[in-house]
Chain A
Amino acid sequence: MTLALWPEYAVVLGVLATMLAGMVSRERTIWGYWTTLAALAASGVFTIILWASGSLPRSLLHGGLSIDAFSMAVNGLVLVAAAGALLIGWNDRRYGGDFPILVLLALLGMMVLGMANNFIALFIGIEMLSLPLYILAASGGEGLSTEAGLKYLLLGAFSSGTLLFGLALLYGAAGTMVITAVVSPHLILPLAGAGLALTLVGLIFKLGIVPFHMWIPDVYEGSPLPVTTYMAFGTKVGAAAILMRFLFFGFSLASGWWGPAIGYLAVLTMIAGNLIALAQKDMKRLLAYSGIANAGYLLVGIAAHNMLGAQALLFYLLPYGLSILAAFAVLAFVAGDEESVSLDQLTGLYQRSPGLAAGMAVAFLSLAGIPLTGGFVGKFYLLQAAWAAHEPGLAVGLVVAAMIGLAAYIRPLQRSFSAVDGTPAPIRWPLAGAIVLVISVIGTIGLGVYPAPVVHIVNHSAAFYWLH
């Protein structure tokens, strides 16, 4: 038992404790939520201790796991995502006692993705992330939710198959499973090219990049709200982390093979995601297309293929995730007992609850990239990275996409700040969700006004990363 894996051990112990809590008392599922929250807190504390201990980087299992500043940053991000999703769905009878267990298991997969350094860890991470999410997507009862689960399952199995076959070909071309050792003079080129292409298709499927994005809106719309929150934040962090590690660690020397393709996909995804978001009437679908567009922004950091890009990508994940948490917390309040919110239901939100309307305004302005929010700072860093990489096309695509996105995000805001006749029904604020909303709104504004502490951490993570 090395100290280096304690954040993950805490999560595993949390899973066991939550299962036990569910067995001890079937009626009082609240115990399971508390043990899960305790496990998240313990894992967070271990991550911070590990970060401060100076014992990093560590390499475990013959190079299979690389525990370094980058994996610590990913740990922090996915812990925030899991805590947010857990609190938004806090002790909701609709999701039952299994919800916290599955959240923890998917969290473990995301943590493994942050430190995976060989094909086995990569595959296990992807599957540990996906399998609990299939169940979670289908956990909202009959109808839309099982349909979402079924679609997610079939497309997830297909993309995992593509990924696996790509990895198998790469293994054949390189003769090794360790990502950092793949590119060598002995690489068999056509085989490696085919393997890299199939692997990238599989990973990009999970991230939701445009030619492979069609499952995202359906799955987001049909899944229960806290699960959608978790997918929109946590899955994106995990997929972006492994994509970055795979390409920057493994294929850094062969960036000509993938750089242009990733760049074109990034521009296509940003613009198409925001354009389709313009036409959406359901808020979950709108945020799904927003998630697709944001995955495109993340790809800009990868396509830039420099240290600024790595830093910008890591930084952007935090304001994006906080805005998503705030937006979904508001939607969960407005939806109440329902599972989704249409654009029309937002009309007059300002009269029903000024606080919610303000929170939503912050979240959406951050997603659109208005100054004084974290989203603006994140997009600015991405723009800087694209510029430093001498890729003006990427920079122009990012700005154009942000402009289209602004139009898409203004519509729900305009609805919620328009007046309605009559006395509107007030909205109940569940305490757990209110905590998420307040913290993520403060975080979003804080990152926009004073991003220096987070920038410092991110620079440390990515700078170390580049020396490999």
Chain B
Amino acid sequence: MMIPLNWVVGLGGALFAIGAVGVLVRKNPLIMFMAAEMMWNAAALVFVAYARSFHQMSGQVMAFIIIGTAAAEVGIGLAIIVAAFHHRHRLDIDEVSQLRG
């Protein structure tokens, strides 16, 4: 049985919204980063769903590229988070506030 396209896109939208809200309300940079990755994965899901319904390969390729880039970003991101917090022993974005935006 085929899952209707709209359901998959709806799921993608929901994942995207959860991710966006997560970045905006959570204080722990690891969780914020995870939520941002969730937004990326929501986009990858939507790309794959449309690619299947259009019978095209380009959306699938895009999904692969998103996953690969996300892996690179996680590598860099975790290194920066560890560097920023290894002498604090606590993860809270409010404590990282020497710079006033």
A residues neighboring B (CB under 8 Å) = 118-120, 123-124, 127, 131, 134-135, 138, 142-144, 146-151, 153-154, 157-158, 160-162, 164-165, 167-169, 171-172, 175-177, 214-215, 217-218, 221-222
Contacts and interface: CB of A to CB of B under 8 A. Distances in A.
Interface string B37-78: 111101110110110001010110110011001001100110
Interface residues of B, number: 45
A210 to B, nearest CB: 13
B99 A148 contact: yes
Contact of B84 (A149, A157, A175, A177): A149
Contacts of A124: 65, 69
B87 interface: yes
Nearest to A166: B43
Given A143-B98, A146-B83, A161 B20 contact: yes
B58 A177 contact: yes
Minimum-distance CB pairs A-B, first 6: A161-B39, A164-B43, A157-B36, A168-B46, A218-B99, A146-B84
Is chain A's binding surface mostly helix, strand, loop or mixed?
Answer: helix
B46 A158 contact: no
A127 B69 contact: yes
18 contacts: A120-B62, A134-B76, A134-B77, A143-B98, A147-B84, A147-B98, A151-B96, A157-B73, A157-B77, A158-B23, A158-B36, A161-B16, A161-B40, A162-B39, A165-B42, A168-B46, A171-B46, A172-B49
A177 B93 CA distance: 37
Contacts of B81: 150, 153
B58 to A, nearest CB: 5
B5 to A, nearest CB: 8
A168 B12 contact: yes
Interface in B1-59: 9, 12, 16, 19-20, 23, 29, 32-33, 36-40, 42-44, 46-47, 49-50, 54, 56, 58-59
Interface of B: 9, 12, 16, 19-20, 23, 29, 32-33, 36-40, 42-44, 46-47, 49-50, 54, 56, 58-59, 61-62, 65-66, 69, 72-73, 76-77, 80-81, 83-84, 87, 93, 96, 98-101
A134 B100 CA distance: 19
Contacts of A215: 101
Contact of A169 (B46, B56, B65): B46
B99 A164 contact: no
Nearest to A128: B69
Given A127-B73, A150-B80, 10 more contacts: A120-B62, A123-B65, A138-B80, A153-B77, A153-B80, A158-B20, A168-B46, A168-B47, A171-B62, A172-B9
Contact of B76 (A144, A147, A148, A153): A153
B36 A161 contact: yes
A333 B12 CA distance: 50
B80 A134 contact: yes
A146 B32 CA distance: 17
B20 A168 contact: no
Contacts of A169: 46
Contacts of B58: 118, 120, 176-177
A153 B62 contact: no
